[in-house]
């Protein structure tokens, strides 16, 4: 039986965190443990977590001081959880979730079964149930709801880079190394809050520039979002993403999270997107 653990970052999530945790603990394949990083919540979240810990002994809480809200700290919180996991039971996978995500009971089991069938598949997710046009485009694994093979993850350092684009970096890194990633429509999850309501997609433009996204691909993605809403990103946010991408070197030049990835990696990302555009144009 494959083993997995979950990472949840929480911030003032008193209205959602209990349901989010129950959704994970009620999976048909139970998690070995769940690590919640509470990023300085000032509502009732800490009390709810402590009450849940009385029921689930394999719930571990990392409580951080309140430093206000900053979406960029999520990557540091993930890495704190990953470092803490080294002192716990070794598992085959880690699962990234959010403090407002609810999953089908067989969600993780489905992903594990698909990954067992294909040894090259190292990152997989289901789909957000709110997509308006689900099969309009080929999708990559979601940010929340993704399962990552820990053997692969150890090969690349067992940590996420603390820069814009860390969520997508791991997907491209897997592809660059000859592995596969997959997004499945067979299992779904939902956010109890409106998608993007906390972060407002503020990182996306800088993220695409740091990773080396092809400019034509960026334009096509943002225009597609504006017209079709395929990623459920509001049109104003999509427009801002595009502007931030082209102005990133000016707008984010003093931001410690704004760092280009290595040139070989950025070239791989750019070339991959050129090929995707060619296939679309030739289809």
283 pLDDT above the threshold of 90: no
Q: How confident is the model at residue 227 (pLDDT cuts 50, 70, 90)?
A: confident
Question: What pTM was estimated for this model as a whole?
Answer: 0.91
109 pLDDT above the threshold of 70: yes
pLDDT for 67 equals 84
139 pLDDT above the threshold of 90: no
> How large is the average pLDDT for residues 249-256?
93
Q: Considering only residues 55 and 232, tell me which one the structure prediction assigns the higher pLDDT.
A: 55
pLDDT for 211 equals 97
pLDDT for 134 equals 52
Within 13 Å, how many C-alpha atoms sit on residue 110's CB side? 19
Q: How confident is the model at residue 255 (pLDDT cuts 50, 70, 90)?
A: very high
Containing 160, the helix (H) or strand (E) segment is: none
- C-alpha distances out from residue 57 to 37, 91, 273, Å: 16, 17, 45
**pLDDT, tens digit, 9 for 90 and up, residues 15-56:** 999 999 999 999 999 999 999 999 999 999 999 999 999 999
pLDDT for 237 equals 83
**pLDDT, tens digit, 9 for 90 and up, residues 190-222:** 999 875 445 456 788 999 999 999 999 999 888
């Amino acid at each position: 039986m494959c083993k997995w653990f979950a990472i949840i970052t929480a911030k003032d999530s008193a209205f959602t965190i209990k349901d989010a945790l129950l959704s994970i603990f009620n999976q048909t394949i139970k998690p070995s443990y769940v690590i919640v990083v509470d990023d300085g919540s000032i509502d009732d979240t800490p009390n709810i977590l402590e009450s849940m810990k009385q029921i689930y002994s394999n719930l571990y809480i990392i409580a951080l001081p309140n430093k206000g809200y900053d979406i960029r700290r999520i990557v540091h919180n993930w890495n704190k959880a990953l470092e803490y996991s080294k002192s716990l039971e070794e598992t085959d996978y880690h699962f990234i979730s959010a403090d407002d995500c609810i999953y089908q009971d067989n969600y993780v089991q489905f992903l594990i079964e698909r990954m067992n069938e294909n040894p090259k598949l190292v990152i997989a997710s289901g789909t957000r149930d709110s997509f308006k046009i689900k099969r309009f485009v080929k999708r990559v694994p979601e940010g929340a709801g993704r399962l990552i093979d820990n053997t692969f993850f150890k090969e690349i350092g067992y940590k996420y880079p603390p820069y814009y684009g860390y969520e997508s970096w791991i997907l491209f890194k897997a592809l660059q190394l000859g592995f596969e990633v997959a997004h499945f429509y067979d299992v779904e999850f939902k956010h109890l809050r409106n998608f993007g309501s906390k972060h407002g997609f503020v990182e996306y433009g800088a993220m695409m520039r740091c990773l080396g996204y092809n400019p034509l691909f960026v334009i096509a993605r943002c225009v597609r979002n504006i017209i079709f809403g395929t990623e459920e990103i509001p049109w104003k946010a999509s427009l801002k993403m595009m502007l931030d991408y082209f102005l990133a070197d000016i707008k984010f030049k003093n931001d410690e999270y704004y760092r280009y990835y290595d040139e070989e990696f950025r070239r791989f990302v750019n070339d991959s997107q050129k090929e995707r555009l060619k296939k679309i144009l030739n289809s």
